[in-house]
Structure 1
Amino acid sequence: MRRSDLADLTAFVAVADHLSFRAAASRLGVTPSALSHTLRQMEERLGVRLLHRTTRSMSLTDAGLRLLEQLRPAINQIADALEDLNRERRQPIGRLRIYVSHFAAETVIAPIWRRFLTTYPKVHLQIQMDETPVDIVAKGFDAGIGPQKQASAGMIAVRVMGPLKVAVVGASGYFVQHRPPRTPDDLARHRCIQYCFAPDGTILAWPFERGEKSRKIAVDGRVTVNSPALAVRAAVDGLGIAYTLEALAEPFLRSGQLVRVLEDWSPSFEGLFLYYPEHRQVPVALRVFIDMLRTNYDAALAPSLLKNPFATEAKSD
């Protein structure tokens, strides 16, 4: 079926509904003469007369009636499908799939998901958490949340959390038995919660900065994790010193369960971004999701646990 065939059939249905070229042309936004020419060409191509025409009236032939009866359900289905899309434009509907790290899920999505789902009851929010970067387009996700470097070239990246400061922490009971480190080199005498994110089992060295100095320290310990939150839990349980994010450690620092060390050596990271493929028509559910994140973090400019302002949208290089 050629693309023009659908347009011709739509024109035929409009003429059959009105039995008037002028009225049908007005509905379709074309001239009566153009519409008459379209129907005449269609009849010649099919080799069947569909309309009886005189200078004063018009009616359907028997073949025209049969064609109209068969076309009507299909045309109605097409009209309903287009109306569904129009409703979606006015009211978000459908599934929104987001790929995030565990930390991003807890600190970016969890604070707003109740309000989001209450505001948009026809949206289904699907969150998949993992620490491994993936091709969100190939995996069928609408967006991802993570470091800006995870956004491929040509993607749109929207900051959803300001810079994140590192906290090196241990349980108060641990430091009763072990002298707190004063420099990163002192970590060689401590049990540390190690990180392994790489498939080949490489253990992450801990980055440190002070002024213009930067160091990477290889640490040792009996526990290895791939989650900053789990590292905090290990530290609370007295299993060693953890290198984690300040926002995750803050509640335990306030309660006295954890003690912070090496604060003058603790670096900051760029924060988190929501990223998605660049296209002119952003899915409606994703657009309102981003808008709610903007509103939420714009409102959080006052001092808070995370202290992360919401910045402007930027295209990644």
Structure 2
Amino acid sequence: MARENINDILVFLAVARERSFTRAAAKLGMTQSALSHIIRGLEERLGVRLLTRTTRSVSPTDAGERLLQNVGPRLEEIEAEIAAVSDLGDKPAGTIRITATDHVVDTVLWPRLATILPQYPDLHVELSADYRMVDIAAERYDIGVRFGDQVEKDMIAVRLTPDVKMAIVGAPAYFARRPVPASVQDLIKHDCINLRLASKGGLYAWELRQDGRDIEVQVRGRLVFNGIYQILNAALSGCGLGFVPADLAEPHIRAGQLKSLMEAFCPSFPGLHAYYPSRRQNSRALALVIETIRHKG
């Protein structure tokens, strides 16, 4: 195989996995036109079409799928071996890619990682904020962060936080024109701020507790966001009730900008956990990052 084909195949694999030139270009730090030029050149050299392009989607052809399934894993093995060789050096080196929600990146991961990065100049970290339930193996992340009950059984899981308490909050300006709800029946009559789920596209049903059992409440309201910070900001503006992590709302509650309500109905979720495939457990860079972000309490 010509050497230029290897780099071009890596580009093809990124586009095929993302099913999008736009997302692949962002991940690779290249322009979409550059990606298209590379893919066309690779197809011409191989004499076969690798991708089917429409105005809305990109998908591998039969030849592209064969390349994705058979060549992709071999190149990953080569990259893993190169990383293992680098790991034999004096200090941890390499890139650790992590996927988590924006709230977790800002309040848990970054504050802890910032303390060690100056000590390890050869350690690179990529933090990707995402609300989807990401398949970290398929999307080539090293670590995912989600609540403990969302982690697949075949993953190694490490606790990052104590259990996470949720809160229903509203601003004084909202309650100046609406009564404070005291029950689930009251709640569904209020203007609640919804979260759009990234994975399935539906609206998140608030997970509450009533009479000792878990319930899901499909609330209604005029606002829908796909991020928790936007929900918090809308609640602070008096535009409705938000369902957010209590630690995120707490400074605003102390300042009198928000009121916490129906606390007996708000559950605690089973802590944030970092999870990763067992095949990566021997990486010194991964071990360092895991040890840095793990819960020390």
TM-score by length of 1: 0.63
Listed as ranges, the matches of 1:27-38 within 5 Å are none
Q: Is the 8 A contact 1:98 1:143 kept in 2?
A: yes
**Aligned equivalent of 1:103:** 103
Q: Note closer, same or farther for the CA distance 1:94–1:152 as it changes in structure 2 (3 Å cut).
A: same
**Aligned equivalent of 1:70:** none
The root-mean-square deviation of aligned C-alpha atoms, in Å, is 2.2
**Aligned equivalent of 1:194:** 194
Listed as ranges, the matches of 1:220-259 within 5 Å are 220-259=220-259
**Aligned equivalent of 1:136:** 136
Shift of residue 228, structure 1, vs aligned partner: 2.2
CA distance in 2 between counterparts of 1:199 and 1:285 reads 30
CA distance in 2 between counterparts of 1:205 and 1:145 reads 21
**Aligned equivalent of 2:279:** 279
Q: Note closer, same or farther for the CA distance 1:150–1:204 as it changes in structure 2 (3 Å cut).
A: closer
The one-letter amino acid paired with 2:209 is E
CA distance in 2 between counterparts of 1:110 and 1:87 reads 23
CA distance in 1 between counterparts of 2:86 and 2:227 reads 42
The one-letter amino acid paired with 2:117 is L
Q: Is the 8 A contact 1:165 1:245 kept in 2?
A: yes
Report whether the alignment pairs 1:208 with 2:208.
yes
Q: Deviation string for 1:60-109 (max 9, x for gaps)?
A: xxxxxxxxxxxxxxxxxxxxx99x93764530112111111112211221
CA distance in 1 between counterparts of 2:208 and 2:292 reads 35
The one-letter amino acid paired with 2:263 is E
Q: Is the 8 A contact 1:165 1:268 kept in 2?
A: yes
CA distance in 2 between counterparts of 1:91 and 1:279 reads 21
Q: Deviation string for 1:175-210 (max 9, x for gaps)?
A: 111110011210133111012205554222222214
Q: Deviation string for 1:216-250 (max 9, x for gaps)?
A: 32211110112222211110011100011101111
Shift of residue 255, structure 1, vs aligned partner: 0.9
Q: Is the 8 A contact 1:194 1:219 kept in 2?
A: yes
Listed as ranges, the matches of 1:1-317 within 5 Å are 85=85, 88-197=88-197, 201-279=201-279, 281-294=281-294, 297-298=295-296, 309=297
CA distance in 2 between counterparts of 1:169 and 1:262 reads 9
Q: Note closer, same or farther for the CA distance 1:200–1:148 as it changes in structure 2 (3 Å cut).
A: closer
CA distance in 1 between counterparts of 2:261 and 2:138 reads 42
The one-letter amino acid paired with 2:216 is K
TM-score by length of 2: 0.67
Shift of residue 271, structure 1, vs aligned partner: 1.6
The one-letter amino acid paired with 2:215 is R
Q: Note closer, same or farther for the CA distance 1:235–1:121 as it changes in structure 2 (3 Å cut).
A: same
CA distance in 2 between counterparts of 1:188 and 1:279 reads 46
Q: Note closer, same or farther for the CA distance 1:226–1:280 as it changes in structure 2 (3 Å cut).
A: closer
The one-letter amino acid paired with 2:192 is C
Shift of residue 289, structure 1, vs aligned partner: 1.0
Q: Is the 8 A contact 1:206 1:217 kept in 2?
A: yes
Q: Deviation string for 1:266-316 (max 9, x for gaps)?
A: 11111211011113752111101111123xx42xxxxxxxxxx4xxxxxxx
Gaps of at least 5 residues in structure 1 are 1-80, 299-308, 310-317
CA distance in 1 between counterparts of 2:263 and 2:284 reads 43
Flag the structure with larger Rg.
1
SS at match of 2:219: coil
The one-letter amino acid paired with 2:144 is G
Q: Is the 8 A contact 2:87 2:285 kept in 1?
A: no
The one-letter amino acid paired with 1:117 is L
Q: Deviation string for 1:35-78 (max 9, x for gaps)?
A: xxxxxxxxxxxxxxxxxxxxxxxxxxxxxxxxxxxxxxxxxxxx
> What percent identity do the matched residue pairs reach?
33
**Aligned equivalent of 2:18:** none
Q: Note closer, same or farther for the CA distance 1:253–1:217 as it changes in structure 2 (3 Å cut).
A: same
The one-letter amino acid paired with 1:230 is Q
